[in-house]
């Protein structure tokens, strides 16, 4: 702004001189000197013209410098405008990124809320199914027959990796308490499931939460349960032997992937399977 004001002032002064020349004619300095009437007038005119020429040179130089300053100022202004534009574009990108992150967060919150609701629903189904099975087992068991679960029991799958233990546990994210009535054993879809001991099949079918499930009565109030099966290979009433293939590993019912849910029950109530089988 200062450079522009200076340039304006210098141009006004230069304009006055141009107007003077226009008004009085384009008379050269030499003509003015030669038009002197006497030596004194000549010397006076010479001094005046020398001072005028000096001022003209200074004024022209000043105008040139101010024009250069204005040029630089315009370049700086353009650069600043570009920086402002780039900054604005960057802020718009950041705003867009924040908007997308907010939308993603809201989507995840909605998904988490939905998953929690599904999880709670599944827990209620499993608990209800567990109580139903307890009543069913008590009704179907022939407690007077069979030795129960004695001796070395056969491990129910070829995989010994336990992915979830028996007992109470709390969900790591939602903090919901639940009781796990058996153990979960890792497996691949279609792996063999074996009877852990001799017994009689008292249930072979679908049970909400457990999916396809088998229950074997071993006598003396003891029974074993095999849940989430993909296939059930024995029917109700069948007699099975220890180590016999009775089903296939699957992910039916409320399950996040193929595995065997294995339970041991005494008089219909679940007990820790690892207290009976190693």
The structure's pTM equals 0.59
Same domain, 8 and 133: yes
Strand-pair partners of 239? 200
pLDDT greater at residue 167 or residue 69 = 167
As a whole number of angstroms, the distance between CA 114 and CA 278 comes to 38
What percent of the chain is modeled with pLDDT above 90?
34
Confidence bin at 17 (pLDDT 50/70/90): low
Domain count, the chain: 2
Same domain, 136 and 161: no
pLDDT of 168-180, one tens digit each? 877 544 567 778 8
End-to-end CA distance of the chain: 91
Same domain, 100 and 174: no
Same domain, 25 and 102: yes
- Of 140, 173, 206, the last residue of a domain is 140
- What was the pLDDT predicted at 212? 96
Question: Which of 28-42, 53-67, 88-102 shows the lowest per-residue confidence on average (mean pLDDT)?
Answer: 28-42
What percent of the chain is modeled with pLDDT above 70?
75
As a whole number of angstroms, the distance between CA 60 and CA 70 comes to 15
CATH number of the CATH domain containing 256: 2.70.70.10
Same domain, 95 and 3: yes
Q: Is the pLDDT of residue 278 over 80?
A: no
Q: Is the pLDDT of residue 31 over 90?
A: no
Query: Residues 231-241: what's their mean pLDDT?
Result: 96
- What was the pLDDT predicted at 87? 82
Same domain, 179 and 115: no
Nearest to 224 by CA among 154, 161, 169, 174: 154
Same domain, 101 and 149: no
Place of tokens 């994210």: 173
Confidence bin at 153 (pLDDT 50/70/90): very high
Confidence bin at 21 (pLDDT 50/70/90): very low
As a whole number of angstroms, the distance between CA 10 and CA 58 comes to 10
As a whole number of angstroms, the distance between CA 159 and CA 197 comes to 17
Q: Is the pLDDT of residue 131 over 90?
A: no
Same domain, 208 and 270: yes
Q: Is the pLDDT of residue 199 over 80?
A: yes
Q: How far is CA 271 from CA 75, 108, 172, 219, in A?
A: 84, 38, 24, 16
Tokens of 240: 């099975």
Nearest to 221 by CA among 278, 120, 150, 274: 150
Sequence-distant (6+) residues with CB within 8 A of 210 are: 126, 129, 133, 225, 227, 228, 252, 253, 254, 261
Query: Residues 121-133: what's their mean pLDDT?
Result: 75
For the chain, give the mean pLDDT: 80
Same domain, 157 and 271: yes
Same domain, 16 and 135: yes
Same domain, 123 and 219: no
Helix (H), strand (E), coil (C) string for the chain: CHHHHHHHHHHHHHHHHHHHHHHHCCCCHHHHHHCCCCHHHHHHHHHHHHHHHHHHHHHHHHHHHHHHHHHHHHHHHHHHHHHHHHHHHHHHHHHHHHHHHHHHHHHHHHHHHHHHHHHHHHHHHHHHHHHHHHHHHHHHCCCCCCCCCCCCCCCCCCCCCEEECCEEEECCCCCCEEEECCEEEECCCCCEEECCCCEEEEEEEEECCCEEEEEEEEECCEEEEEEEEEEECCCCCCEECCCCEEEEEECCCCCCCCEEEEEEEECCEEECHHHCCC
Q: Please give the residue range of the domain that contains residue 264.
A: 141-275
Query: Residues 23-43: what's their mean pLDDT?
Result: 61
Confidence bin at 20 (pLDDT 50/70/90): very low
Nearest to 129 by CA among 199, 66, 215, 58: 215
Question: Which of 2-11, 18-27, 46-55, 233-242 shows the highest mean pLDDT?
Answer: 233-242
What's the full length of the chain, in residues? 278
- What was the pLDDT predicted at 96? 81
Same domain, 177 and 97: no
Query: Residues 155-172: what's their mean pLDDT?
Result: 86
Confidence bin at 258 (pLDDT 50/70/90): very high
């Amino acid at each position: 702004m200062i450079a522009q004001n200076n340039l304006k002032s210098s141009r006004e002064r230069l304009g006055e001189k141009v107007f003077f020349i226009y008004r009085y004619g384009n008379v050269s300095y030499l003509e003015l000197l030669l038009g002197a009437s006497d030596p004194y007038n000549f010397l006076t005119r010479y001094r005046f013209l020398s001072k005028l020429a000096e001022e003209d040179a200074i004024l022209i130089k000043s105008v040139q410098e101010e024009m250069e300053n204005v040029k630089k100022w315009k370049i700086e202004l353009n650069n600043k405008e570009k920086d402002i534009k780039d900054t604005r574009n960057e802020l718009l990108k950041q705003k867009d990124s924040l908007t997308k992150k907010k939308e993603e967060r809201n989507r995840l919150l909605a998904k988490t809320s939905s998953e929690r609701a599904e999880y709670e629903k599944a827990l209620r189904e499993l608990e209800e199914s567990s109580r139903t099975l307890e009543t069913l087992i008590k009704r179907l068991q022939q407690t007077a027959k069979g030795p129960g679960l004695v001796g070395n029991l056969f491990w129910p799958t070829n995989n010994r990796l336990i992915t979830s233990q028996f007992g109470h546990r709390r969900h790591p994210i939602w903090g919901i308490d639940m009781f796990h009535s058996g153990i979960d054993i890792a497996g691949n879809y279609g792996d063999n499931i074996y009877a852990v001991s001799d017994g009689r099949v008292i249930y072979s079918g679908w049970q909400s939460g457990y999916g396809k499930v088998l229950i074997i009565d071993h006598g003396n109030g003891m029974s074993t349960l095999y849940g989430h099966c993909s296939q059930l290979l024995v029917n109700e009433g069948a007699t099975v032997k220890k180590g016999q293939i009775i089903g296939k590993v699957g992910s039916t019912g409320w399950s996040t992937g193929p595995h065997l849910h294995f339970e041991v029950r005494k008089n219909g109530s679940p007990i820790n399977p690892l207290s009976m089988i190693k």
